[in-house]
């Protein structure tokens, strides 16, 4: 989608700090990290939200999440990690290209939740 920020990140029109990439999935640091290492995981195909995902897209996304989580554990040594999706404006979605947040937790006072 031509006016989608995340599609622009996928095709390189907008720079990002990539943490993982394969044929179907891209993971990159959130521009406004709620904690150190806050990462977004997105499908390379434009799908607005959870309702639009096919089983194949969901499989492609979820099968790389453990690997990305382990890399984040290695890099940031968090005490915990939140995996979340804001689905729909009323749930806090602000970018309408499906994404999952991976939010490393660094203990009390880490700034999130």
Q: Which does 81 bind (CB under 5 to 8 A by kind): Zn ion, ligand 5GP, none?
A: none
The helix (run of H) or strand (run of E) holding residue 76 is helix 65-76
88: helix, coil or strand? coil
Stretch that binds Zn ion, among 4-12, 13-21, 49-57, 105-113 (CB under 5 A): 4-12
DSSP designation for 108? T
Please give the residue ranges that form the binding site for ligand 5GP (CB under 6 A).
5, 14, 16, 28-32, 40, 86, 92-95
C-alpha span between 3 and 13 (Å, rounded)? 11
95: helix, coil or strand? coil
Question: CB of 8: closest distance to ligand 5GP in angstroms?
Answer: 8
Which residues of this chain interact with Zn ion, rule CB under 5 A? 1, 4, 6-7, 46, 97
């Amino acid at each position: 989608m031509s006016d989608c920020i995340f599609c622009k990140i996928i095709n390189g029109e907008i720079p990002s700090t990539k943490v993982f990439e394969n044929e179907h999935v891209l993971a990159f640091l959130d521009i406004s990290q709620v904690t150190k290492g806050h990462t977004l995981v997105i499908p390379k195909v434009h799908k607005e939200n959870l309702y639009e995902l096919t089983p194949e897209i969901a499989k492609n996304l979820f099968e790389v999440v453990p690997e990305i989580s382990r890399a984040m554990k290695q890099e940031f040594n968090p005490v915990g990690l939140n995996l979340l999706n804001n689905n729909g404006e009323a749930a806090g979605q602000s970018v309408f290209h499906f994404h999952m947040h991976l939010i490393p937790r660094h203990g009390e006072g880490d700034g999130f939740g």
